Chains A and B, each alone.
Chain A
Amino acid sequence: MSRPPVRVVARRLGAGLVVLWVAATAAYLALLAAPGDTVDNIIGDGADTPQIRADIVTEWGLDRPALVQYVDYLRRLAGGDLGRSYLLQRPVAEVIGEQLAPTLALAVAAAGLGVLLALLIAVATAGDRRPFLRRASSGAELLLVSTPPFLIGLVLLSVLSFRFGFFPVSGDQGIAALVLPAVTLALPIAGLLAQVLRDGLDRALDEPFVLTARSRGVRERAVLVRHALRHALLPAVTLAGWLFGILLGGAVIVEQVFGRPGLGQVTLTAVSTRDMPVVLAVVTLSAAVYVVVNTAADLAYLLVDPRLRRS
């Protein structure tokens, strides 16, 4: 019995809005509970007199009760107004807007590359065919997963940029400047995804349908790609949310090492200086992307596994 798709979508959207609200509120409360005073953070290392403090309080409306500020913040958020950054003294939407594209390019390139690499590795090393290759690949994957992206980035830079000059260190220089950051971020993703995919492939290869396929004379490669892979993808799809987290967290480091523009840098600075409007906007945006990614993952489930479409 299938539910009408409109209701499914509506429920999804409603749940998404609730997630957004909870995330925005949690971030607000966390920042409120964090030690230190907003005025102090705006002043930073600068001069500090009662007059300066009064000016800042007036400018940002900080003398209103926390609840009033919170409600005001939610109201403005609902209207699409993200407020003004305390530190940068510019509209948050503008700050985030101009940093979104480079981060998006990095994330998409890294995710694509990571998934592609994982698929290749998993298919090449699944089953009991090449034990040596399989062991070597497992070791390499473990190394990639456990090496900090910071270090991977520095090594890639040292060799491929500083030593041989294949790629520029940073900047708005087209695809060439995107390669190393994307590879840096993709390698740990590939490492973990490959392991999950291979496990899935191994399990699928033990299923009766594989035996059936083989007995029909289907070639081993085709058995892997056409039959087993579909089963192996399920657990990997579940990792989509995790993948998104890695991309966002990794972007902070990768952007720092490569001197790339992007949300990572903005977020890091905003958190360490408690630039509330920016932090809240980034959290809300992340929650929104998370909702979209997970909805997409759920839909992908339906595509991958026809059995789910019936229940």
Chain B
Amino acid sequence: MPAYRLRTLAAAALAPLLAVVAGCSTGTTPAAEAAGQPRSGGTLTWAVETEPITLNPHQYAQAKARLLVWNTFESLLTYDQQGKLAPWLATGWQVTPDALSYTLTLRDRVTFTDGTPFDSAAVKANIDKLREPGYAPGVAAVQLRNLKAVEAVDPRTVRLVLSAPDVLILDFLASPQGAQISPTSLRQAKNLKAGGIDVVGTGPFVLDRYVPGQELHYRRNAGYDWAPPTATHTGPAYLDGITYRFLKESAVRVGALTSSQVQLIEGVPATDQPLVTGNRTLRLTRELNSGSAYSYYFNTSHAPFDDLRVRQAFREAVDVDTVLTSVYRDTATRAWSVISPSSPLYDKRLEGGYSGDAAKANTLLDQAGWASRDADGYRVKGGKRLTVRLVQSAPFVRDRRDVLAQAVQAAVKQSAGIDLKVSLVDQGTATEALQRNEYEVFDNSRADTDAGAALNLLLHSKGGINRTQVNDPRIDQLLESGQATAEPTKRAGIYADLQQQVVAEQALVLPLYAPADQIAASVGVGGVRFEPTAGVPASAYDLWIGK
């Protein structure tokens, strides 16, 4: 018997066994709100999918690392449930009428966990460090682009002077990159950029053990007394400590949870969700991420997507609902705009604006001159097949986006004769294809709290990842005024116009789904929360262990 057949047989024989074994519930505790009232004490173990590349918040780049960042570090501002900015280490801020100077008042009696006091000198030290060449080039060049100077007015007052109006500076002050690191750490840490137990903040927990490849352990910061207004309690954290274990395989995370080896997990793919929802001792919660929706961006710099009709045809050729159901069952939230539906800037009017209308797709392609078909059923024009290439970089494929691409590929072929070539390659190969302009479709989602930050990168003619290669003064102008406007209603109006331009009129993107995060937890764990606005799992501050 050839080896491959044995392997297939083995896999087929073992798959149900796996499902049955993993599905067995380990106890008969009745469900309901077993966690009861919050209480102090105990330790938890949480299995996470992704190991952070760095533990220094200034270098933060992985959405999956956010839940760790806020255990040890805090920012000057945060977002509340309504997506509005709220105080944290800064109690408030004033902005001058020309929008060029922000004065922040700092909270009193806050100390870093190494004993260093938190004051305006500390804030200045952090921002100065961020602007030091070679330390955090991304933050300096993008988020602090319009920052001219930072002044420590008095111990509790900091002034940021801008060279141009920029409301995204407030988003920076609420972001992990703007989190406050002890100035002592900034000077003395052994591997500052990598972070570690000697890089400390003001947060409710202290990192006291890091075993790379295995786990992180935090103990409670007993002196903590400055929770943000968005938290559900004040004072020190409930838990004595928490361990985050890195388990990259979702089946292993779920198995560890069902066998009570861990009490919480994040990253529960659709295929594993029934194992959690079918178990009465566990609870599954999910929340949409903010930022940009997962979308296909069409490269408008050359044929065939330089033709609006072909871009529209591609969108009509995909019945997004059907595709999402087949890949994610009923767990994915469809996106209609480049902005996630959970963002306050989302334009609801786009819903239903385009949809899998195969007849329309075919008419549009006929009009665009792709009227005939070859022997394989693909459309051709001037002897050239209607081929578009999607290059996926393997390290960035999450949520089974490679499988989703195959489903889209089948859909566009079947309904309109479009040849979508999907290649899953290493990062270097993907970047090279993008740089040589050898792609027609680019896939991306970003988890920025303010969608404006993501759109600046994706749609501005000078944006770092402007893969549609759109160069439209109207779009640039909207993005720039969106960044310069503070008044929320006016700002929402600007981004609504932008979405109309990009999605409805120019069909630059095919929005697919809004990325979500999931937490599965034992019902005995209370206070499981997502971060408002960001939609990613919150820190361990509010967690408690019920009786």
Q: Which residues does chain B contribute within 8 Å of A257, judged by CB atoms? A: 249, 252
Inter-chain contacts of B193 with A (CB < 8 A): 89-90
A87 located at the interface, meaning its Cβ lies under 8 Å from any Cβ of chain B in the complex: yes
Chain B residues, CB < 8 A from A51: 137, 140-141
Given contacts A259-B252, A274-B428, contact A169 B247 (CB under 8 A): yes
Contact B53 A151, beta carbon cutoff 8 Å: no
Check if B431 sits within 8 Å of A37, measured CB to CB.
yes
Contact with A along B252-282 (1 / 0, CB 8 A): 1001101101000000000000000000000
User: Which A residues lie within 8 Å of B232 (CB)?
Assistant: none
A256 close to chain B: CB less than 8 A: yes
A31 to B: closest C-beta gap in Å: 9
Interface string of A40-57 (1 = CB under 8 A from B): 110111111101100110
Expressed in whole angstroms, the minimum distance between the Cβ of A93 and any Cβ of chain B is: 12
Task: Provide the bound-state CA to CA distance between A71 and B396, in Å.
Answer: 33
Residue pair B246, A259 in contact (C-beta under 8 Å): yes
| A89 and B213 within 8 A (CB) | no
Segment 114-162 of A: residues with Cβ below 8 Å from B: 142-143, 145-148, 151, 154-155, 157-159, 161-162
Instruction: Check B252–A157 contact: CB distance below 8 A.
Output: yes
Chain B residues whose CB sits within 8 angstroms of the CB of A56 once the complex forms: 137
Q: A55 to B24, Cβ gap below 8 A? A: no
Q: Let me know if A40 and B435 touch, CB within 8 A.
A: yes
| Contact between A89 and B18, CB atoms less than 8 A apart | no
Query: Using Cβ atoms and an 8 Å threshold, which residues of chain B touch A147?
Result: 6-7, 10
Query: What residues of B have a CB within 8 angstroms of the CB of A235 in the complex?
Result: none
CA distance A262 to B213 in the complex (A): 7
Asked if A273 is an interface residue, CB under 8 A from chain B, the answer is: yes
Among candidates A47, A256, A259, residue contacting B245 with C-beta atoms closer than 8 Å: A259
Cα A142 to Cα B6 in complex, Å, equals 9
User: Is there contact, CB below 8 Å, between A34 and B428?
Assistant: yes
Does A59 have its Cβ within 8 Å of any Cβ on chain B? yes
**B133 partner residues in chain A, CB cutoff 8 A:** 55, 58
- Report whether A146 and B7 are in contact in the complex, using a CB–CB cutoff of 8 Å: yes
How far apart are the CA atoms of A169 and B248 in the complex, in Å?
Answer: 12
Given A162-B256, A259-B214, A47:B53 Cβ within 8 A: no
State whether B245 touches A158 (Cβ < 8 A).
Answer: no
A16 to chain B, nearest CB (A): 29
Question: Measured between alpha carbons, how far is A21 from B133 in the docked complex, in Å?
Answer: 35
Taken together as a complex, chains A and B put the C-alpha atoms of A274 and B251 apart, in Å, by 28
Whether the Cβ atoms of B428 and A151 lie closer than 8 Å is no
CB distance from A262 to the nearest CB of B (A): 6
- CB distance B429 to A35 under 8 Å? yes
Q: Which residues 9-30 in B have Cβ within 8 Å of A in the complex? A: 10-11, 14, 17-18, 21-22, 24
Indicate which residue in B18, B258, B396, B428 contacts A36 across the interface (CB closer than 8 Å). B428
Choose one: A44, A59, A95, A271; the contact of B61 (CB below 8 Å): A44
Cβ contacts B124-166/A at 8 Å (1 or 0 each): 0000000001100110111000000000000000000000000
Identify which of residues 7-27 in chain A touch chain B, using a CB-to-CB cut-off of 8 Å: none
Q: What residues on A are CB-neighbors of B51 within 8 Å?
A: 265
CB of A266 closer than 8 Å to a CB of B: yes
> Interface digits, A84-99 against B, CB 8 Å rule (1 contact, 0 not)?
0001111100110011
Contact A148 B214 (CB under 8 A): no
Q: Which of chain A's residues has its CB closest to B133's CB? A: A55
Judge if A171 is at the interface, Cβ distance under 8 Å.
yes
- Least CB distance, A152 to chain B, in whole angstroms: 9
Q: Is A112 an interface residue (CB 8 A)?
A: no
Q: Which residue of B lies closest to A36 (CB)?
A: B428
Indicate with 1 or 0, residue by residue over B387-404, a CB within 8 angstroms of chain A CB atoms.
Answer: 000000011100000000
With a CB–CB cut-off of 8 A, which chain B residues contact A155? Answer: 14, 17-18
Residue in chain A with minimal CB distance to B24: A163
A161 touches B435 (CB 8 A): no
* Interfacial chain B residues near A262, Cβ < 8 Å: 213
A102 contacts chain B at the CB level, 8 A cutoff: yes
What chain A residues lie within 8 Å of B246 (beta carbons)? 259
Per-residue interface assignment for chain B, residues 36 to 79, with 1 indicating a CB less than 8 Å from any chain A CB and 0 otherwise: 00000000000100010110000101000000000000000000
Kindly provide the distance from the CB of B208 to the nearest chain A CB, expressed in whole angstroms: 14
Report which of A90, A145, A256 forms a contact with B194, defined as CB distance below 8 A.
A90
Give CA–CA (A46, B444) in the complex, Å.
Answer: 12
Q: Is A249 an interface residue (CB 8 A)?
A: no
Query: Is B432 among interface residues, defined by CB-CB distance under 8 A?
Result: yes
Q: How far is the CA of A37 from the CA of B432 in the complex (A)?
A: 7
Q: Which residues of B contact A36 (CB under 8 A)?
A: 426-432
Is A245 located at the chain interface by the 8 A CB criterion?
no
Decide yes or no whether B375 CB sits under 8 A from chain A: no
Q: Complex Cα distance A162/B391, Å?
A: 38
Q: Which residues of A contact B47 (CB under 8 A)?
A: 259
B431 touches A41 (CB 8 A): yes
Bound Cα distance from A87 to B51, whole angstroms? 13
Residues of chain A contacted by B61 (CB below 8 angstroms): 44-46
Do A58 and B17 touch across chains, with their CB atoms under 8 A apart?
no
Q: List B contacts of A154 (CB < 8 A).
A: 14, 18, 249, 251-252
Bound CA span A233–B311, Å: 66
B212 CB-CB contact with A under 8 Å? yes
* Pairs across A and B, CB under 8 Å, 5 listed: A34-B426, A46-B138, A147-B6, A163-B21, A261-B212
**Chain A residues within 8 Å of B, Cβ to Cβ:** 34-37, 40-41, 43-49, 51-52, 55-56, 58-59, 87-91, 94-95, 98-99, 102, 142-143, 145-148, 151, 154-155, 157-159, 161-163, 165, 168-172, 255-262, 265-266, 271-274
4 closest pairs, A vs B, by CB? A36-B428, A261-B213, A48-B464, A146-B3
Using A36-B429, A154-B14 as known contacts, list a sample of 6 further A-B pairs with CB atoms less than 8 Å apart, ordered by residue number in A: A40-B431, A47-B142, A51-B137, A143-B6, A154-B251, A260-B214
